[in-house]
Structure 1
Amino acid sequence: MEASKVIHAIYTDDDVLMNAVKKVKAARHHIEEIYTPFPVHGLDKAMGLAPTRLAITSFLYGCVGLTVSIVMMNFIMIEDWPQDIGGKPSFSYIENMPAFVPIMFELTVFFAAHLMVITFYLRSRMWPFKKAENPDPRTTDDHFLMEIAVHGDENELTNLLKETGAVEINLIDKTH
């Protein structure tokens, strides 16, 4: 069953990797995943990945934080326990809003940041005590690994990867 075989091509330079990705995609091979020790600018575009929608969720989380801050301050400072602080009575939220702007800003940022971290971890399926899915520990230090599905002639694909500058090429059977 050839669909379960993948080739792991190891590279030692990010520029060589970027050129290799472009050549492999031009040859119409499917790149399953790329493991890198640091983010490589433009790699997502070269692989043809769709843009992320995490920025939209961040904006929505910020809106939730702003709403929570407004409702919280209106309840606490105007309805539940109004106080005359420095001769400024709490008749309405709008009259006192300039004093509440720092709290509104901080809660907007707080909600956006914390909920984005949780969303990122859930979306990436990275929860506590999860075993790492990294196929080669060297990719956490100084190597780059391209995982390509084998569909057809593996010798042709191996030769293409050698031409692109791969320093190591391994055929892996994913059924085990």
Structure 2
Amino acid sequence: MASKVIHAYYDDDDVLMHAVKKVKDAKYHIEEVYCPFPVHGLDKAMGLAPTRIAITSFIYGCVGLAVSIVMMNYIMIQDWPQDIGGKPSFSYLENMPAFVPIMFELTVFFAAHLMVITFYLRSKLWPFKKAENPDVRTTDDHFVMELAIHDNEKELKNLLMDTGAVEINVSEK
């Protein structure tokens, strides 16, 4: 059995924010909000948990730093030590100041690239994925709030009309 959802369309982000707060105050669960651009504070108004992407970025940066240290120690000290400009490569610690730019660059490289990959995988965005937005107007000038219907269609419609929705559609998901 397919579940029924209700889509409330809004044409202003301020009206949408007010509507989200009013719907949350009425103790309804908002499945998703589709927007043509990011709306500041919408995630907090919807009650979404804070993102952990910053934590993963820090971990990825630490991985990049570790890889750079191991790589430079192996390449420049153990595998092929060279006397460059009269500075022999006897130990990693003696040569570490010269390696700082490489450590910084690989830290940033790993953090940035792995964070983007994590974001795409977590958001289930991959090549050739079909768009999930319910209406093409959500990519241009309309905002859509999606709520699940649980034998309360009339109440939801009345509430959403009171919040300033310009259009309300019921559909199967």
Q: Please, what TM-score do these two structures have when normalized by structure 1?
A: 0.94
2:29 is aligned with 1:16: no
2:99 is aligned with 1:94: no
Which residues of structure 2 form unaligned runs of 5+? Answer: none
Shift of 1:29: 1.2
Shift of 1:153: 2.6
After superposition, what is the alpha-carbon deviation per residue over 1:104-155, rounded to whole angstroms, capped at 9, x for unaligned? Answer: 0000000011111111111111111111111111111111110011123312
Shift of 1:103: 0.4
Structure 2 distance, partners of 1:88, 1:37, is: 58
- After the TM superposition, list the runs of 4 or more consecutive aligned residues in structure 1 that deviate by more than 2 angstroms: none
Structure 2 distance, partners of 1:17, 1:105, is: 43
**Which letter maps to 2:167?**
E
- Secondary structure at the residue paired with 1:15? helix
- Secondary structure at the residue paired with 2:21? helix
2:100 is aligned with 1:110: no
Shift of 1:70: 0.2
**Which letter maps to 1:69?**
S
Structure 2 distance, partners of 1:141, 1:87, is: 63
- Secondary structure at the residue paired with 1:90? coil
After superposition, what is the alpha-carbon deviation per residue over 1:41-74, rounded to whole angstroms, capped at 9, x for unaligned? Answer: 1111111111111111111110000000000001
Which residues of structure 1 form unaligned runs of 5+? Answer: none
Q: Please, what TM-score do these two structures have when normalized by structure 2?
A: 0.96
Spell out the pairing of 1:1-176 with structure 2 (5 A cutoff).
Answer: 4-174=3-173
Shift of 1:100: 0.6
CA RMSD of superposed structures (Å): 1.2
- Secondary structure at the residue paired with 2:67? helix
**Which letter maps to 2:74?**
F
Structure 1 distance, partners of 2:60, 2:77, is: 25
Structure 1 distance, partners of 2:150, 2:30, is: 11
**Which letter maps to 2:39?**
V
Structure 2 distance, partners of 1:34, 1:165, is: 15
Structure 1 distance, partners of 2:17, 2:49, is: 17
